[in-house]
Amino acid sequence: MKFYNREAKEIRYKGLDQNDNAEISSRVINEEINYKDFEENFEINGELLKVDKKLGHGYFGNVSEGKLQMEAERDVSLAVAVKTAKDDNKEKYEEKKELLLKEILVMCAIAKQKHANVLAIIGAVTVDPAAVSIVMEIAHTDLQTYLEHHKGFTNRFVPVDRNDATSDEENRKTNTYRKEEYVVNNDLNTLDTFELVLFAYQIANGMKHLASIPCVHRDLKLRNVLITKNKTIRIGDFGLARKHKDRNYYTETKGIIPIHAAPETKENYKFTEKSDVWSFGLCLYDLFTLGTKKLSELSESAEDFSTKHKRLTEPQHCRSDLFEFIELCWEFNPVHRPNFITAVYIFKCELGRFSDHTFNEIEAKLKLELEEQKKLEDWVPKKKLYD
C-alpha cells in the first residue's frame, strides 16, 4: 500500500483533517490567565518535597530525582522528577524562573486532558521565589540516551533472498517485515524494528494530542521525548511550549528559537503544528538510525538542512516509503507537510504490517498508562478543575 503522492508533495486523506471540535477551557485559552488560576489545584507544600540526585540539566535549569510525601500520610512517598531554575547570575536566574513559570502554566493547562504519551505534571512549588520547581511523573530516561546506550538490536525485516545477493548485501534490506505475532513488552533490555515503529507511533500520538489543545511544543527532539520504566513514550520538556488561541499558529515576538526549528519560525516567528512536524521528521530520522545521526542537534540553519536532506541516505531500519513520509515532514513550505493526525494514521498502518492483532494490545496498554497518570492527582489535595 503506497501512502504518498510524491508529485503533489502532499498527503491526500479523506477524513483526516484536524478535529475542529477539540476544545480546552476558555479560561485556559484566555491570554491573561496566570498560575493563580491553577494554584489551588497544583500548588505543592514544599515541606513534602525532598530533592535528591540530579538527573540532568539544560539551558533552563536542572532536573533531579525526588520524593513527594502524601500530605495525609507522611510515611508514604512517590518517586518524582523535579525541575528547577538554576543560574549563578541573578538576572539570568530571574529570566529562567519566568520561563519555568510559563512551563508550569502550559503543563497545568494541558493537565485537564491527560494523555498516555504526554508527560503529566503532579504539581508545582511557587510560593518560595528562590525555589520555584515543577514536580512531574518520573521517567526511565530520554529516548536519545536510551538508543545510544542500548546494546543489541533485532532486525525484523525479512532477510534478503540469497539469489538476489549483491556485493553490498550487508547494506541491503527488503521492504517487508516478518509477519508474526508480536508481543508488546515492558522489557527495556530488548529493542527491535517493531519497537522503533511503536515509538514513532506514540510520539505522533502525543503530538496529535498537543496540537488538538492547541499547543505548540517548539522543541521536539529525542532528548525531550522520554521513555518510562514500562517502555511507554512520553512527550516532555515544555520549556518552549506555548498554548494559543489560533489553531493555525502561535506568534513569538522575541525569544529563543532552537537551531533545529522549521525555516518559517526564523522568518516570521510563527510556530504551528506544521513547524512541530518539521522537528518530528528529525526525530524520526534519529530514531530509525538508532540515535547515531542526531539531526535535531545539528548546528546548521533550516535553509542549509533543507538542501542537505535531499542527500541523506535512507535509514537502515526504515522502509523506503516510510522514509518518503519522513522527507515530507521537511518540505520547506509548511502547507505541504502532513499533520499529526496523518502521522498517527501512517504509523498505525505501519504497525499493522507486523501483525493484525498487536494494535489492540498497544491501545490497551496506553489505556492502563492513562489510568495510572490520573492517580497522580491524589498526591496534591485540590478542588475539581474547572467547576
Check whether residue 106 and residue 170 sit in a common domain. Answer: no
Cell readout for 164 is 538476489
Q: Do 96 and 174 share a domain, yes or no?
A: no
> Do residues 123 and 185 share a domain?
no
Q: What's the CA gap between 313 and 311, in Å, rounded?
A: 6
- The number of angstroms, rounded, from the C-alpha of 190 to the middle of its chain's C-alpha atoms is 21
CA distances for 188 relative to 196, 263, 368, angstroms: 13, 36, 18
**185 assigned to a ligand binding site:** no
User: Which of 138, 159, 180 marks a domain boundary?
Assistant: 138
**How far apart, in whole angstroms, are the C-alpha atoms of residue 322 and residue 353?**
12
pLDDT digits (tens, 9 = 90+) for 164-200: 545 444 455 778 888 777 888 899 999 999 999 999 9
Known binding residue 178? Answer is: no
Q: Is residue 128 domain-shared with residue 256, that is, in the same domain?
A: no
**20 is a domain residue:** no
Contact between residue 265 and residue 275 where contact means Cβ atoms under 8 Å apart: yes
State whether 185 and 86 are in the same domain: no
Residue 56's domain comprises 33-138
3 falls within a domain? no
Give the integer Cα–Cα distance in Å for 273 and 250.
Answer: 9
End-to-end CA distance of the chain: 48
Catalytic site residues?
219
DSSP class per residue in 199-240: HHHHHHHHHHHHHHTTEE-S--SGGGEEE-TTS-EEE---SS
The rounded distance, in Å, linking the Cα atoms of 237 and 59 is 12
pLDDT of residue 97: 84
Biggest CA pair distance of the chain: 71
pLDDT at 217: 81
Residue 7 lies in a domain: no
Let me know if residue 4 belongs to a domain: no
Q: What is the pLDDT of residue 309?
A: 59
Are 158 and 169 in the same domain? yes
| 312 contact partners, CB below 8 Å, separation of at least 6 | 285
The whole-number pLDDT of residue 235 equals 94
- Residue 247: partners with Cβ closer than 8 Å, 6 or more residues away: 18, 20, 214
Position 258 scores a pLDDT of: 63
Cis peptide bond prior to 214, omega within 30° of 0: yes
Q: Which three cell numbers stand for residue 135?
A: 514536580
Regarding whether 301 and 244 lie in a shared domain, the answer is yes
pLDDT, tens digit (0-9, with 9 covering 90-100), for 115-144: 999 999 999 998 877 788 999 999 999 999
- Report the pLDDT value the prediction gives residue 373, as an integer from 0 to 100: 95
Do both 172 and 134 map to the same domain? no
Q: Answer yes or no: do 129 and 166 share one domain.
A: no
The answer to whether position 58 is within a domain reads yes
Q: Does 38 fall in a domain?
A: yes
* Residue 104 counted as domain residue: yes
pTM: 0.84
Shared domain check, 271 and 150: yes
- Residue 96 in any domain: the answer is yes
Q: Are residues 130 and 148 in the same domain?
A: no
Please list the ranges in the chain whose pLDDT falls under 70: 1-37, 58-60, 160-172, 238-260, 268, 296-311, 382-387
Name the domain count of the chain.
Answer: 2
Q: Are residues 81 and 195 in the same domain?
A: no
Full DSSP string of 130-184:
TS-EEEEE--SEEHHHHHHH----B--BPPPPGGG--TTGGG---S-B--S----
Q: Which residues contact 294 (CB under 8 A, 6 or more apart)?
A: 144, 286
| CATH code of the domain in which 132 resides | 3.30.200.20
Is 162 one of the annotated binding-site residues? no
- CATH number for the domain harbouring residue 213: 1.10.510.10
Which of 102, 121, 138 delimits the end of a domain?
A: 138
> Among residues 121, 138, 155, which one ends one of the domains?
138
Three-state DSSP class for residue 358: helix
Annotated ligand binding at 237? The verdict is yes
